[in-house]
Chains A and B, each alone.
Chain A
Amino acid sequence: GENVEQHPSTLSVQEGDSAVIKCTYSDSASNYFPWYKQELGKRPQLIIDIRSNVGEKKDQRIAVTLNKTAKHFSLHITETQPEDSAVYFCAASWDTGRRALTFGSGTRLQVQP
């Protein structure tokens, strides 16, 4: 089955700096890669996703890149703000057949004001 590795496990940045979280996946059939933000005690919230037919997608301060050959994808947050502090999970799935999400282990992002 699919296995998703996520790094780093914790990340501390100064407000205004950029943050990058990286994931790798094992199943070359995976072609849908969402990112979820989870604040303490809350539900995971979908913040951005990318399909394997594109290499990059941007939404304001958030961008995601995908390297299908290397089976890597990354989340980039620019101009970080204290409210970006949360745990971020990457995930992988297929868009045909089984569509359950396989999650990475999470990155705790702390933005220092």
Chain B
Amino acid sequence: EPEVTQTPSHQVTQMGQEVILRCVPISNHLYFYWYRQILGQKVEFLVSFYNNEISEKSEIFDDQFSVERPDGSNFTLKIRSTKLEDSAMYFCASRGGAGLDQFFGPGTRLTVL
């Protein structure tokens, strides 16, 4: 069964550094999402992406964040200048054209020191 994949599984970075989190959505899916989950808390929506553009973003997704689908298979989340409070598990999800079900990747645990 196809799955969403994410790399790396764990990223440790210094405050102020840029990080790029990578996702490979399920191949025939059209809608892509990033969510984050701070340890012990709920999953929070960051951004949705469709037809090569952002379709929706939350208040969390400020100017420090950006997303890109550089090559038709990868979907990336960039944080330009990481802050301590960016430490969280970041999940990518994808959805097919007709279905509503979102399928999550295994997550990238980002630790900002």
Contact = CB atoms under 8 A, between A and B. Distances in A.
Interface stretch (A13-21, A67-75, A77-85, A94-102): A94-102
- Chain B contact-residue range equals 20 to 34
Nearest to B43: A103
Interface in B6-61: 31, 33, 35, 41-45, 48, 55-56, 58
Contacts of B33: 100-101
A42 B106 contact: yes
A91 B95 CA distance: 15
Interface of A: 32, 34, 36, 42-46, 49, 51, 89, 91, 93, 95, 98-106
A99 B104 contact: no
B43 A89 contact: yes
Main SS class of interface, B: strand
Contacts of B106: 42-43
Contacts, number: 54
B19 to A, nearest CB: 20
Contacts of B104: 36, 43-45
A93 B100 contact: yes
Interface of B: 4, 31, 33, 35, 41-45, 48, 55-56, 58, 91, 95, 100-107
Contacts of B4: 43
Contacts of A51: 100
A75 B41 CA distance: 20
B48 A98 contact: yes
A100 B43 contact: no
A99 B100 contact: yes
Given A43-B105, A44-B91, A100-B33, A106 B42 contact: yes
